[in-house]
Amino acid sequence: MPDFGRVIVGGYGPRDAEVVLLGQSPGREEEQQGQPFVGPAGRYVQACFEEAGYDWSRVYRTNVFRRRLLATSPEVIRRHVDRERENVARELRALRRMRLLVCVGNEALYCATGLWGIRSHHGRVLKPELLGLDAVCLCVVHPAFVLRDGGKESLWHRKLVDALRLGQNLLARKSYALSRS
């Protein structure tokens, strides 16, 4: 079985965005519509961003992988992320006004920081050292996880929205307090 689907889905949003959402890979609906974060998890994370006070139309959205990830082994996935990291860095460095990188899920967290275990890093603010960006990385659980856990009725929903509010507060400040990795 191949590790990736066939359809390529690139990043989407304003090139002058201060906030970038980095996910894992496109899903079925993203493949059909040609945009990231338009499927069920994307619509849910959009609602969470808006609940936290963001203007969704001002968020640039992209993924570590341009094609749907079919591999499930963490070792294989990390190896693929290592291969994609420079492409992700190149895309994000072109967004010169970016100040906040919201990494959703293990793959985005690993791509930006080299860390794995998103639940234990949820809500942390780290430097995306592996991408060489002049921004901070806010780590949050993947919206699909929250949907599986009960969606808006889940404790994780509140944790996700609270973490996104932290990101809003960081944007309002000039300096950031980074968590220790």
CA angle 125, 128, 129 (to 5 degrees): 130
Q: What is the mean pLDDT of residues 48-56?
A: 97
Average pLDDT, the chain: 93
CB 90 within 8 A of CB 96: no
Whether 117 has a pLDDT exceeding 70, the answer reads yes
Percent of the chain scoring above 90 in pLDDT = 91
Both tokens assigned to 27: 């899903």
Q: What is the mean pLDDT of residues 126-141?
A: 94
**Residue 2: its pLDDT value, please?**
80
**Residue 178: its pLDDT value, please?**
60
Q: How far apart are CA 118 and CA 99, in angstroms?
A: 21
**Residue 50: its pLDDT value, please?**
98
According to DSSP, the residues that pair with 27 across neighbouring strands are none
Q: What is the mean pLDDT of residues 91-101?
A: 96
Indicate the pLDDT class of residue 90, thresholds 50, 70 and 90. Answer: very high
Q: Which residues contact 162 (CB under 8 A, 6 or more apart)?
A: 123
Q: Write out pLDDT tens, residues 3-39.
A: 988 899 999 999 999 999 999 999 999 999 999 999 9
Indicate the pLDDT class of residue 140, thresholds 50, 70 and 90. Answer: very high
Whether 181 has a pLDDT exceeding 50, the answer reads no
- Residue position matching structure tokens 């992988």: 65
Whether 164 has a pLDDT exceeding 50, the answer reads yes
Please provide the CATH number assigned to the domain covering 19-168. Answer: 3.40.470.10
Q: What is the mean pLDDT of residues 107-114?
A: 97
Which candidate, 133, 132, 142, places its Cα nearest to that of 163?
142
Q: How far apart are CA 177 and CA 101, in angstroms?
A: 15
Rounded to 10 deg, the angle between the 155-172 and 40-51 helix axes is 60
**Residue 175: its pLDDT value, please?**
58
